[in-house]
Structure 1
Amino acid sequence: MIRNTFLLLTLGAMSTMAQDPEDEPQTWPTPDRGSFVISNFTFDAGETLDRLDIHYRTLGEPKFNADGSNNVVLIGHGSTASSEQFLNDGFAGALFNPGQVLDAQKYFIIMPDGIGHGNSSKPSNTGLRARFPSYQYSDMVRVNHRLVTEHLKLNHTRLVMGVSMGAMHTWVMGSEYPDFTDALFPIACQPAQIAGHNRLWRKLAIELLRTDPAWHGGNYTKQPLASLSGVLSLLQTMFSSAVDLQARYPTRDAMDAFVDALLPHVPEYDANDQLYAWNASHTYDPEPQLGAIRVPLTAVNTADDLMNPPQLGLLERAVGQLMRPGLGKAVVIPESEHTVGHGSYIMAKLWVQELELLLARTEARNGTSY
């Protein structure tokens, strides 16, 4: 019944989809695809890549008002996923159809595959393996900004939003490019340096791979299955909610069958791609620059998110540091039978009302004549 549950994990929708995504009836528009090639790209760490390919998907067409404002929406995906993670009924089918909040007939929606992800350049598809440059979130944000401004020739956006890693990029985009957008909508992240529990599991995942003799310094000919299985199992746990899993798999045998269905798919993943993706958050530390954010922002988390527990108060602290009082809004959705832990971010019905409110709040800045 589930073709690839680890794939669904990386989509953040592991416990919400019980069918093969290819069997899911499509109710949303089909995106166009594009590619942006950057020659001799220099990463923040000083390494260079002769050719950096950035794949992206778009919906709709750009439209402009007389004052220069536009209908452009930039959406960032989660770690180890790609723009494909948005192409399901719970996300695209709840946002992009006629009359919905991000109606593709009204908005021009851009969904890039970040560096190291999807069909963009990464260790596994360039042949570089562990010689691939050690990219960071700052590099990914800079490239997405160049995609919009240099390649697509758009110097402003109506909205920047993202989920998980893409949400962290949203915070960085707001402070690094404060005039780039009219509104910011990060979902499922903390706008602070990754430390404590969140750093613990990331560091464990990285070291599991690096210390596996079968990894061979990244030059393996076969996937290091023992460490890769451990990493993907750890991620499966972190994406989940204890309450949701108990409801879905209330017996020992049910959960054992679920795990048994996961493990055969481990070889479908690449260890270097995983290692690089989880290491990319190493220098992420947006908090000192939060005061540079000039536009309205609504940040949404869920109460059962193991990666971003609300007890830490980091979301509220960050919102209080924005340029002026009232600019930001922190929302924590209570745990319920509808939330599934960190993977709740892919379920637009949980937070779509907050997105509607943010767009209405910033409408006067943008106009709606396009």
Structure 2
Amino acid sequence: MPADYEIFDLGDFGLQRGATIRGCKLAYKTFGTLNAAKDNVVVYPTWYSGQHYDNEWLIGPGRALDPAHLFIIIPNMLGNGLSSSPSNTPEPYNAGRFPLVTACDNVRAQHRLVTELFGIERIRLVVGWSMGALQTFHWGALYPDMVERIAPFCGSAKCSRHNIVFLEGVKAALTADAVFADGWYTTKPARGLRAMARVYAGWGFSQAFYREQLDIKTLGYSSLEDFLVAFWEGFFLPKDPNNLLTMLWTWQNGDISDNELYDGDFAKALGAIKAKAYVMPGQTDLYFPPEDSAFEVAHMPDATLIPVPSIWGHFAGGPGTNPVDVDFIDGKLKELLAA
């Protein structure tokens, strides 16, 4: 079956932490048509472990992201298995040797795609969920004169200390599997992936989601254990462990001020974002609580805090799991695009 995405060749791509990915590949998919003025552009980055397919729930006729009117670019994150990743990079940077990639590296690669391949100078909207939101904030801070609007939802501009701790638990569960072999596994470390999934299960949805038994009553699983196995273990088992760890490092080290423009001054980086911003945390998100978003919005010149009123936790933001939350986010994106 032919691939439904394109590859942009970045050549020898230098990374923030000093390594170079030779023949670096950025996978992307587009929807709609770039207009003559090149002013109908939306950039919609992917999230932790997700690929462009997993973003398509927010795109369609009558949606804010309607390909009849907008040219939507979904760039796949480095490490996600389609763009350059541990699973597809030749020796010596293969598998456990794949270099450290920052969110800044990702967005600079995406900027090259947008400018070099398409000749785009203005972006109408950058939008993303979770790690896609992290990249959205980076777009606003790194290219403030290019980006007109941003809509990060269920994500942050900097990985919090609490979030780092959660991810350490995820990483420890995965790498404790003896089959993992420091990233040089020859068979899938399924035990580690299943353990990782169970750690994740306590974070992806809120306490209220489990209290109300939405896993059974709404999603249709037959029991809590069925949900843990069929949904969560099923979610992570097909994914490559080294790819997951590469993206996990990117997430933990996410910080829009960690570059030569802002030298670690987080408030300065937030203050430099000129885009009109709708920052939409999930009301019950355990990764990215609304108070973290409130701090960000307080330091941004043209930002509005809009919590998503949902008990679906982090998954209020995706990937299209709860139709009510999808409609809420879509409605706010329509409002922002019309502003």
> Could you tell me the TM-score, scaled by structure 2's length?
0.85
Contact 2:81 2:87 in 1 (8 A): no
Runs (5+) with no aligned partner, structure 2: 257-265, 321-325
1:44 correspondence with 2:16: yes
| C-alpha distance in 1 between matches for 2:273 and 2:229 | 46
Matched letter for residue 166 of structure 2: W
Q: Quote the RMSD (CA, aligned, Å).
A: 2.3
Match of 1:206 among 156, 171, 178: 171
Runs (5+) with no aligned partner, structure 1: 1-30, 362-370
Counterparts of residues 1-370 of structure 1 (less than 5 Å):
33-65=5-37, 70-88=39-57, 91-92=58-59, 96-97=60-61, 99-127=62-90, 128-196=94-162, 198-245=163-210, 246-249=213-216, 254-262=223-231, 263=233, 267-286=237-256, 287-288=266-267, 289-310=269-290, 313-322=291-300, 324=301, 327-335=302-310, 339-346=311-318, 347=320, 348-361=326-339
| C-alpha distance in 1 between matches for 2:194 and 2:177 | 12
| C-alpha distance in 2 between matches for 1:183 and 1:265 | 32
Matched letter for residue 42 of structure 1: G
| C-alpha distance in 2 between matches for 1:266 and 1:70 | 38
| C-alpha distance in 2 between matches for 1:184 and 1:133 | 29
Q: Deviation at 1:191? A: 2.5
Contact 1:160 1:183 in 2 (8 A): yes
Deviation per CA, 1:75-95: give whole Å up to 9, x if none.
Answer: 01211101110233xx22xxx
| C-alpha distance in 2 between matches for 1:211 and 1:168 | 28
In 2 relative to 1, CA 266–302 (structure 1 residues): closer, same or farther, beyond 3 Å? closer
Between stretches 117-126 and 140-149, larger displacement belongs to: 117-126
Contact 1:191 1:314 in 2 (8 A): no
Contact 2:174 2:192 in 1 (8 A): yes
Matched letter for residue 61 of structure 1: T
Q: Deviation at 1:357? A: 1.8
| C-alpha distance in 1 between matches for 2:45 and 2:102 | 15
| C-alpha distance in 1 between matches for 2:236 and 2:327 | 31
| C-alpha distance in 1 between matches for 2:222 and 2:331 | 38
| C-alpha distance in 1 between matches for 2:228 and 2:252 | 30
| C-alpha distance in 1 between matches for 2:21 and 2:188 | 25
Matched letter for residue 41 of structure 2: V
| C-alpha distance in 2 between matches for 1:51 and 1:345 | 34
Residue number in structure 2 paired with 1:15:
none
| C-alpha distance in 2 between matches for 1:274 and 1:235 | 13
Contact 1:249 1:255 in 2 (8 A): yes
Number of residues of Structure 1 aligned to a counterpart in Structure 2: 313
Q: Could you say what secondary structure the match of 2:228 adopts? A: helix
Between the two proteins, what is the percent identity of the paired residues? Answer: 27
In 2 relative to 1, CA 48–264 (structure 1 residues): closer, same or farther, beyond 3 Å? same
